[in-house]
Amino acid sequence: MRQSYIMPGFRPTLGFTLLYLGLVVLIPLSTLVFKSLLLSWDDYVHIITNKRVLASFRVSLSTSLLAALIASFFGFIIAWVFVRYSFIGKRILDALIDLPFALPTAVAGIVLATIYQPNGYLGQLIMDVFGVKVAYTPIGITVALIFISLPFVVRTVQPVLQEFDSTMEEAASTLGASRLQIFSRVIFPNVFPALLTGFALAFARGVGEYGSVIFIAGNLPYVSEIVPLMIITKLEQYEYAGATAIALTLLVISFILLLLINLLQLWVRKRSGQL
Amino acid sequence: MSIILSDISKQFGTFTALNHIDLEIPEGELVALLGPSGCGKTTLLRIIAGLERPDSGRVLLNGEDKTEHHASHRGIGFVFQHYALFRHMTVFENVAFGLRVKDRKSRPSEAMIRKKVHTLLELVQLDWLHDRYPDQLSGGQRQRIALARALAVEPSVLLLDEPFGALDASVRKDLRQWLRHLHHDLNVTSIFVTHDQEEAMEVASQVVVLNHGRIEQQGGPSEIYDNPVNSFVSRFIGHTNIIDTEQVDQIWLSSSGLMPTDASQKVAHVRPHDIEVVKDAEIPSQAVLKDWQHLGSLIRIELVETGLQHFKNPIYAEMPNERFKQLQLDRGDQVAVKIRNARWFH
């Protein structure tokens, strides 16, 4: 028996979905694969195992992961404050959160580079207090990535916290749980899947980010070159096959990492009865 | 554990939820806080639990002032209206929660926790659901799990907020009886909030009637029903016909036997079963039987006045099924009305 839906249109919408995925995602990505297939296996390995390329992978992945972690932590706190408390100027702050979405990333990059460079406002302060250089190091890259990826975390966690049934907290309290126990055993497990989604989005954005990073990164070989920069460099030298080889590798690594995060999320949801 | 509330007040903005409440609940009672919605009954329950802070007044549990104690240190069990089960935990883990969060010194061993949780689940007759999640249970099952969870920490007071409010009628009936028996077996001082007077009368050993943040009356179910202290309680508990003597014909009054004994008595409250309906050609009729409804063992009769002067509202009388058949009453009959008993308020 055919399932009946209240809203019709399964066929056209599925058709549109497939068409869209084909045009926007599959065709460009398969071109990437085909283009890098022009290379022989040895050439591919040669390009990828180039020390400078390997270093850029290390920089890109580690800064993205670190930035996603930090953004998740602070994003969670920001979402918490927005949901739990009311204060003057909350709406304005709430709107400010989305700014990194709208700001051209290059603008963000230039601004960040300006204030974090060794004689910039914050750069100098941090240099004086901690003796750490932010701009032109992986720390600078991480700062830029946190800036870019924070809204992803806030906007995924916020609605879930909003929906959270706070009588569960009261129930836990009457059962003798301390505040810490209520947070760790009741609130956090319910929000964790959303936080993982936010983390995955932040990470994915971080790996692919170019505009906001290149200005603050300084692009020193082996130190602060990111993978997207290596791809651009290759493109500028008309090494299209080389560029696609690096791009494809980055794509596969990102895909595997996102898949792992999704599997973790599935496991968490299963374990907590949300599936 | 006995509960004493003294001079409890609570204000939400400009709304007075509780207005100088004094209440004493002896140990082992099963008390119903009864009142219309917005009367402050849930707020009072939450103040006893420590989930809400009173603006003034003290909460004494077993003679000990617990007003400043956090909800987690009051030794109370609370069952929430919508159960508030932990949806990320299995039924077993839900019930075990209160035991697992105890500090290391007082926490029972894993084996003890298992044993205790299974005992409680058997008590609520749901042990077979122990590995399900709350989303997979029906309303009645969730309710009982919530109760088992609250009982796991062996509370000295059990508080239930509208415990049967969200359940369908037949499940509600079963659970009412079940709660009564459970209370009888455990003998833990229990307070439940309800807006349903039938439920309060059926389950509770003591009923506290609240209205507009004040206690109107406290007493046993029959006390409250038979001797309501004011017109609010009289109207709120059970069915009552309200007859304003100034608006009804005096002859009608005297022939029905409803006569005020002094001038201050103006409004009569008459229970439906205190109205006798007689069908006799000899006695002049005072009413017409407009309609009747079958209520199981009782028949409810709707009476309207004959003649020019009409009641504002019809009068309802109730009589046993057999009596109704005996009298061979039917719609449109002219009947005489005898009022056996009335309560006067002004």
pLDDT for residue B306: 67
Burial annotation B277-308 (CB, 10 A radius, 16+ → b, else e): bebeeeeebbbbbeebeeeeebbbbbbebeee
pLDDT for residue B30: 92
Grade residue A2 by pLDDT with cuts at 50, 70 and 90: low
pLDDT for residue B310: 56
- Nearest-CA residue of chain A relative to B78? A174
Quote the mean pLDDT of chain B: 87
Inter-chain CB proximity B51 and A173 less than 8 Å:
yes
Question: Measured between CB atoms, which of B74, B78, B133 is closest to A171?
Answer: B78
Burial of B116 (0-12, 13-18, 19+ CB in 10 A): middle
**CA B103 vs CA A187, A253, B108, B181, B333: distances in Å:** 20, 44, 10, 33, 74
pLDDT for residue B54: 92
- Could you give the CA distance from residue B10 to residue B212 in angstroms, rounded to a whole number? 12
Inter-chain CB proximity B89 and A173 less than 8 Å:
no
Q: By the CB < 8 Å criterion, does A185 face chain B?
A: yes
- Per-residue pLDDT averaged across A184-195, rounded? 92
Inter-chain CB proximity A176 and B153 less than 8 Å:
yes
Which residues of chain B make contact with A185, given a CB cutoff of 8 A? 97, 101
Grade residue B246 by pLDDT with cuts at 50, 70 and 90: confident
| Interface mutation target, options B43, B86, B94, chain A, most CBs of A under 10 Å | B86
Inter-chain CB proximity A168 and B87 less than 8 Å:
yes
pLDDT for residue A222: 87
Inter-chain CB proximity B72 and A170 less than 8 Å:
no
Q: By the CB < 8 Å criterion, does A191 face chain B?
A: no
Q: Are strands B76-79 and B157-161 parallel, antiparallel or unpaired?
A: parallel
Token output for A257: 């990492």
Grade residue B46 by pLDDT with cuts at 50, 70 and 90: very high
Residue A64 scores a pLDDT above 90: yes
A-to-B residue pairs, Cβ atoms closer than 8 angstroms = 79
Angle among Cα B54, B56, B59 to the nearest 5 degrees reads 65
Grade residue A186 by pLDDT with cuts at 50, 70 and 90: very high
- Nearest-CA residue of chain A relative to B135? A273
Q: Cite the beta strand spans of chain A per DSSP E.
A: none
pLDDT for residue A275: 63
- Nearest-CA residue of chain A relative to B148? A175
Q: By the CB < 8 Å criterion, does A184 face chain B?
A: no
Residue appearing with tokens 């009888």: B184
Which residues of chain B make contact with A171, given a CB cutoff of 8 A? 78, 80, 84-86, 146, 149
| pTM of the predicted model over 0.90 | no
Grade residue B324 by pLDDT with cuts at 50, 70 and 90: confident
pLDDT for residue B307: 60
Residue A12 scores a pLDDT above 60: yes
Inter-chain CB proximity A170 and B152 less than 8 Å:
no
Q: By the CB < 8 Å criterion, does A223 face chain B?
A: no
Are A210 and A229 within 8 A, CB to CB? yes
Question: Measured between CB atoms, which of A168, A171, A176 is closest to B102?
Answer: A176
Residue B275 scores a pLDDT above 90: no
- Could you give the CA distance from residue B144 to residue B126 in angstroms, rounded to a whole number? 8
Which residues of chain A make contact with B78, given a CB cutoff of 8 A? 170-171, 174
- Nearest-CA residue of chain A relative to B107? A176
Residue A173 scores a pLDDT above 90: yes
Question: Measured between CB atoms, which of B84, B89, B97 is closest to A170?
Answer: B84
- Per-residue pLDDT averaged across B169-177, rounded? 83
Q: For the complex shown, is ipTM > 0.90?
A: no
Q: By the CB < 8 Å criterion, does A94 face chain B?
A: no
Question: Measured between CB atoms, which of B72, B77, B88 is closest to A177?
Answer: B72
pLDDT for residue B148: 92
Grade residue B312 by pLDDT with cuts at 50, 70 and 90: low
Inter-chain CB proximity A174 and B87 less than 8 Å:
no
pLDDT for residue B85: 93
Question: Measured between CB atoms, which of A170, A176, A272 is closest to B88?
Answer: A272
Residue A204 scores a pLDDT above 60: yes
